Structure 1
Amino acid sequence: MTPADPYTVITVARSWLGTPYHDQASLKGVGCDCLGLARGVWREVVGPEPFPIPPYSRDWGESGPREVLAEGARRMMEEITPVDAPPGALILFRMMPRAVAKHVGILTRPDTFLHAYERLGVIEEPLTPTWRRRIAFAFLFPQR
């Protein structure tokens, strides 16, 4: 699988900046959650989504041991070691130790990432040591 051009991924992801947070949505400028941001970037960079995302509850990551986000990403993206993740990579975060990964972001530089965060919408912020410690998985967007 040939990865997508990271500059394209980052440019598209940044075009979502300022989109309000809206649970389960994926419409640039209108509303999205973190998964909706990744889905929207996928549509612009790669093409149509390969499978529908079923409705999910706000607490979906607190129930069950399955790494649902990572399993879904593995179906369509190349997994890489998080420490090797370059700008343009999709990163999955564990929000609590030993919990499943349930938050998604896109690296924009080695020390910054973009994500949709409740009450803040789509923002770009520093990848602080606290955020960096939470990274559980990393994937590369494929070429169209």
Structure 2
Amino acid sequence: MKVANPKLVVASARSWLGTPYHDQASLKGVGCDCLGLARGVWREVVGPEPFPIPPYSRDWGETGPREVLADGARRMMPEIAPSDVAPGALVLFRMQPRAIAKHVGILTGPDTFLHAYERLGVIEEPLTPSWRRRIAFAFLFPQR
């Protein structure tokens, strides 16, 4: 599978900066959550979403036998090792030990990423060691 130009992914993601946080939404400038940001970038870079996203909980401590976000991403994106991430990669964060990965970001530089955060909206910030060690899965956007 060919992958999208990382510069296009980063430019699309940055165009969402300042979008307010809104749970389970995906409208640039209006509101989105972290998954909604990834969905919006997908629509801009790849095309229509391939399947509807079912409702999901906001519980970052959720545990269970399935990595639902990672399984969904694997259906449509090439997976890479978290150690191989570079700008343009979609990363899934495990926010609590033993919990499933429930937070999504997009790398914008070797040490920066963009994500939607409650009360802050879509922001770009340093990929600190604390954030980096929470990366559980990484994927690349496919080419249109």
With the length of structure 1 as denominator, give the TM-score of the two structures.
Answer: 0.97
What residue number does 1:128 align with? 128
Q: Amino acid of the residue matched to residue 69 of structure 1?
A: L
SS of the aligned residue for 1:11 comes to helix
Partner residue, 2:108: 108
CA contact (8 A) 2:28 2:40 kept: yes
2:24 alignment partner in structure 1: 24
Alignment length (residue pairs): 144
Shift in Å, 1:22: 0.2
What residue in structure 1 maps to residue 95 of structure 2?
A: 95
Residue identity in the other structure for 2:110 = P
Shift of the alpha carbon at 1:86?
A: 1.2
Please say if residues 61 and 101 of structure 1, whose CA atoms lie closer than 8 Å, have aligned partners that are also in contact: no
Equivalent residues in 2 for 1:60-71, closer than 5 Å: 62-71=62-71
Where in structure 1 do 4 or more consecutive aligned residues deviate above 6 Å?
Answer: none
Change (3 A) 1:61 1:42: farther
Aligned ranges 1:6-17 → 2 under 5 Å:
6-17=6-17
Deviations 1:31-83 (A, max 9, x none): 00000000000000000000000112222761422100000000000000011
Q: Which runs of 5+ in 1 are unaligned?
A: none
Change (3 A) 1:124 1:60: closer
Give the direction of change, closer, same or farther, for the CA distance of 1:61–1:141 in structure 2 (3 Å limit): farther
Displacement after TM superposition at 1:4 (Å):
0.1
Alignment correspondent of 1:74: 74
- Give me the CA root mean square deviation: 1.0
Unpaired runs of 5+ residues, structure 2, are none
Once the 2 structures are TM-superposed, how far is the Cα of residue 24 of structure 1 from its aligned partner? Answer: 0.2
**d(CA) in 2 for partners of 1:120, 1:65:** 31
Identity %, equivalent residues: 86
In structure 2, relative to structure 1, the CA distance for the partners of 1:110 and 1:60 (3 Å cut) is: closer
